Structure 1
Amino acid sequence: MTDTRDTEALAARAAAGDEEALDRLLREIRPEIVRRCGRFLPFREDAEEAAQDVLLQVSRNITRFEGRSRFSTWLYTIVTNCARQKYRELKRRAAERPLLDTEAAGPDPRTTSVIAGSRLDLLDALENLERDSPHLVAPLVYRDICEMEYAEIAERTGIPVGTVKSRLHHARKQIRPWLLGERR
């Protein structure tokens, strides 16, 4: 993103209904959104699709941004949700494909690289964590994927910094076996 102060000011103006500010904001944040979606999704095309979803959500919901937290915090929540939703959609589509189609197409390129495989393993681990301990997901995603500071995570989640750190520790401990292939 460009200068954080400029982005925050644009977001505030867009939230107040300034269409020109919204257009400029969307143009300026797009590269960062694609990059952040790429942290979740192993293929650029999928990351770009998720980024389009993010931009759409931002444009539809910018008036709900109240400025109580930083715009980047609000934005990363949307990025996280849209990227994880895109992953679920891709996973569902893959499961619906008949076996013959997958054999004829050859190996799935999403699982042939270490990077792609590790991202998919992470997304699977997050799905499992959400099923088993949903309160641990947000701190893990915000810190390890969105690279947010502890104070910002605490502000976003409404829990004390010590609780954020504790939940992050437990989340990492819980997903480690999934990432190492010890649990399925």
Structure 2
Amino acid sequence: MTATSGDVATPDEIDELAHRAQDGDREALELVLAAIRPRTLNVCRGVLPYSPDAEDACQEALLNIATKIGSWGGRGRFTTWTHVVAVNSARTTYRRMKNQAVATDPQEHNVVGEKPDPRTTSVIAGTRLDLLEAMETIERDHPQYVEPLLLRDVYGMAYDEIATLLGVPLGTVKAQIHHGRKLARPLLRGEA
């Protein structure tokens, strides 16, 4: 891969750049970050559709990737590892926003004809908050189900890719996703 911005790196090229970056090659680190930025931003937008929030989460993810690149074990694709980092950064950004939010009277802000806030609207679960709140609830008592469930059902990763990434057997991943779905259904329907 050359240093021009129009190039699209293949997964093999990204893996090679990541290995070089792990060995201390600064140029390779810059190239790999540039190559994965669009995908990282898309992952963050999947959780945080309001562009400034997704951009913040993307920047946090890229910083985490740059500083923790040595922790990528090389078992799976570098892009798969970065996908999980991006999901976690987006969820961290969501939690930070939730903790900073000030409770307000909804009647004061719902002017007739006002469009819904894109930060709280989703086609996934009625509202994006429903989905993220469900994951937060499940994570309190069953944290092992959240990451596989998000990777499969929200981001569409293949079971074998998730198993490789998490370093667990394929059957375990499938069971975790199955149990996670059973826990999430009533939360998303408002039955819990």
Relative to the length of structure 2, the TM-score reads 0.84
Q: 2:117 aligns with which of 82, 101, 109?
A: 109
Matched position secondary structure for 1:156: helix
1:140–1:171 CA contact under 8 A, matched in 2: yes
Amino acid in the other structure paired with 1:164: V
Structure 1 stretches of 5 or more lacking a match? Answer: none
Number of matched pairs: 180
Aligned to 2:59: 52
Q: Percent identity?
A: 42
Aligned to 2:25: 18
Structure 2 stretches of 5 or more lacking a match? Answer: 1-7
Relative to the length of structure 1, the TM-score reads 0.87
Amino acid in the other structure paired with 2:172: T
Name the one with the larger helix percent.
1
Q: CA deviation at 1:37?
A: 0.7
Q: CA deviation at 1:36?
A: 0.6
Q: CA deviation at 1:166?
A: 1.2
> 1:62-101, aligned counterparts within 5 Å?
62-94=69-101, 97=102, 99=104
Inter-CA distance 112–84: structure 2 relative to 1 (3 Å threshold): closer
1:75 and 1:112 map into 2 onto residues whose CA distance is 25
Inter-CA distance 149–118: structure 2 relative to 1 (3 Å threshold): same
Inter-CA distance 125–6: structure 2 relative to 1 (3 Å threshold): same
Runs of 4 or more consecutive aligned structure 1 residues displaced over 6 Å after TM superposition: none
Aligned to 1:121: 130
> 1:142-157, aligned counterparts within 5 Å?
142-157=151-166
RMSD (Å), alpha carbons: 2.2
Inter-CA distance 64–163: structure 2 relative to 1 (3 Å threshold): closer
Aligned to 2:12: 5
Amino acid in the other structure paired with 2:23: A
Inter-CA distance 103–16: structure 2 relative to 1 (3 Å threshold): farther
